[in-house]
Structure 1
């Protein structure tokens, strides 16, 4: 074998191309950590859905994922951040439900009222079908830390489902007036839903909740 062929032999056989080499340790570590984080959020979400947010214990979650207790805090800063990540998933699913309910057509004022009704009904149905995860959105006890931007953005996106039809009904109002009205209307519907789903409090019968939400929406929109 001459010198040139010997070089090619070592390059092509003994030293395979870089494209076929195994991932670098840093890439493999990043992928493993992401998989563990996803599994941790999955576990927390399942436990909340089954038993509520008070059921979450760091030791149990670490056991679910198969990591040491200290390893959990290598994946999330603390339990509050884990709560927020589960809440983010819930808000994304809620946003999808509201988007599907809203449809796409909104030309007249009546269309705007109908959209508000549809969104409010979808909110009630989502809460009823995902009761403990929905409750966890409002039961999280957070310290004075600022909310992450991704959490704030998700919340604002949900209010957008109310603000868009209100803007159609309040064409002369500025953005702040629409925002305040949207949050007030949400608070009213949310109050109805909370009490309707609270078994220990006598409230609107379950078969009448959506009719009463429609009445509230139409009465409010008439005043606008």
Structure 2
């Protein structure tokens, strides 16, 4: 029997989220089990449902937590770059997070939940990563943030993401290529140069 009253709701939320994130980091989304999360925290699976509403919402919260960590990593990379090569810092930060946290990073894209099923807080937290990139693309182009810049930035994210996904999965190496990050950065620079 689980500990039914050791924690208040906020404490339970964080306890479940931390254990769920740790589990995804260890076994990936394919090995994720709410029962295992419940076992690790000493509560019943019903407690998870009471706090998160569903397992999908727990996974969404885990993924949002990953987005927050990833955004912080990108911001640190930009802070370290200062007035230097901020675009390279972004590409490096994108790859670095994915390679340091492959199962958490992959879970972001493996879990499907309609945007309308995400809370406003989840959407804001997830959007912060894209906004950092939009601002840096506008900065690189010496222009204001507008819809055209936002669309371009999202396209560049897709370019970098594709290279990164192939790198994390090993597909890039199977193609005989050895420098996916450099290739992604080159594609970004080429696009920014002709825009």
After TM superposition, the score normalised by the length of structure 1 is: 0.76
CA shift, 1:193, in A, is 0.5
In 1, the alpha carbon distance for the partners of 2:137 and 2:152 equals 8
Gaps of 5+ in 1: 1-28
Matches within 5 A, 1:24-103: 32-103=8-79
In structure 2, the residue matched to 1:134 is: 105
Q: How does 1:173-212 map to 2 (within 5 A)?
A: 175-199=146-170, 202-203=174-175, 205-206=177-178, 208-212=179-183
| 1:152 pairs with one of 100, 123, 130 | 123
Quick check: 1:196–1:205 contact (8 Å CA) kept in 2?
A: no
TM-score, normalising length: structure 2: 0.86
How far, CA to CA, are the matches of 1:58 and 1:190 in structure 2? Answer: 29
Please provide the CA RMSD for this pair. 2.3
SS of the residue 2:43 aligns to: coil
Deviation of the 1:148 alpha carbon: 1.1
Q: Distance in 1 between matches of 2:6 and 2:15?
A: 14
SS at match of 2:53: coil
Deviation at 1:94, TM superposition (A): 0.6
